[in-house]
Structure 1
Amino acid sequence: MIGAGCKIGPFCLVGGDVTLGQGVELKSHVVIGGDTQVGDETVIFQFASIGAVPQDLKFKGEATSLVIGKRNRIREYVTMNLGTEGGGGVTRIGDDGMFMACCHVAHDVQIGNRVILVNSVAVAGHCEIADDVIIGGLSGIHQFVRIGKGAIIGALSMVTADVLPHALVQGPRAELDGLNLVGLKRKGVDRADINALRAAFQMLKQGEGSFKDRASRLSDDFDSDYVRAMVAFVMADSDRGFLTPN
């Protein structure tokens, strides 16, 4: 199904099970296959491959899908794959994202709104990336990793464990290096919440008990929705463990 106002450039291939929302633009040489939904006003640039089968040997052709939200910008040579039965069956992209040239989004990945993947970022299967995350160029995200809301990943990082909301992570074997203070200020977060996050982060770095033990005590110490969200993230199930403060 092709919505009203779509623009499909030369040499594009759109499969029979694809749904394009209103005002979608395919520049040229774009291939979209599988059960793929593309949200309104999304623009996909030349040579992108969207909705191909997963790069997973366990995939046996089962019915799975890819859902892309509204107003995304998907640049040249980006690849986004369908889900797998074992991972929930759906790869999902939120609204207003920017996916720069040569990025890869693997099967069953869940990406929130306003996420930016800089050139050549590779996101492995089953990852969860929350709203407002920025991932620097040439970074790799290990399968099953969760990245919390508002986090920023420096370029050339290999992220192998979960990243706290609003964290700053960088390094070849990525390390938790602080908070994304610039991002918080740009979004107009109240200074009291920023100070609470900074104090909570310091408490996570030291003290008795495990990382989760220290996180569980933060809710009693701070009256901040941002701190409570961080605590909820840490206390949720994790397949990879956490990047912890040095």
Structure 2
Amino acid sequence: MTAKIALDQTPAAIARRAAHVDRVMAASSAIGEDRAVARRAAVAQVEAAELADAEAAFQKAEADKERARISAVVRAGQNLGRGRQALRAALLAPVGVTMLAGILSSTVPDGEAEPEAVAVPDHAGFGSIAAQAERRRIAGAFSRPEATSRFDAVAALVLEGDSGLTGEQIAPLLATLPVTTSQPRRMTIEERAKGEAEFGSDYTPRMSASERIDAGWRKAVAAANAQIGAAATIFQQADHGPFALPDQLVGQPFSADHLMYVNGQPVNRSNG
């Protein structure tokens, strides 16, 4: 998409072009019909130059606007720990900051995301020619090998200001900068096991998923009981309401054990 640029027809612009033509003709030695031809050529030249300047200004404004949009989206994503995913969204669609929250609401932070979710995409063909060119420039910079683990530095160099730096131009500088952000990666089996252990599971590789969940619940219940204490409310009814209890818990000090029963039946913890 591109806009049709028209000559400025305000009185001031018309007077400015006429003065320019007069200066050109003052230096011309043509006479008669030749002078009329020369004047028409001078008018066309002045108008073409003005249109070229207007087109350049329009293209710059479009690029500036697109860069500002992407910069705002990336900053908002960085504040949520999802700068890479925000960049991807901004390059793929005309996403603004307002839309970003909904897009990222169901995502994990960049460091936990799948590689595909944070990959720099090829630019999408929306917007003006200048906007598309700006996205190509930005995508090219973030795709550089030197940009790996230097996301914040690339964002500062490419998205801030109007320097128009390309990936090739910033590559030597990036290579001298320290790594500042970790690349997205998948959790190892040991890390996943550690996460379960922190919840309460006595994880070993030989335990099934159901056994790990049960073990985690047992430890979590024990820890909760210690925090709740014996001074909590005492349940007195065995068969009323959605939290009816088995006989052995009726009249006992409230503990996390009570939360493991619904209508007198143990909760199936493996299914949540």
Give the structure-2-normalised TM-score. Answer: 0.27
More helix by share: 2
Q: Normalized per residue, which structure has more strand?
A: 1
Q: Which has the larger radius of gyration?
A: 2
Kindly indicate whether structure 1 or structure 2 has the higher relative contact order, using CA contacts under 8 Å at least 6 residues apart: 2
TM-score normalised per structure 1: 0.29
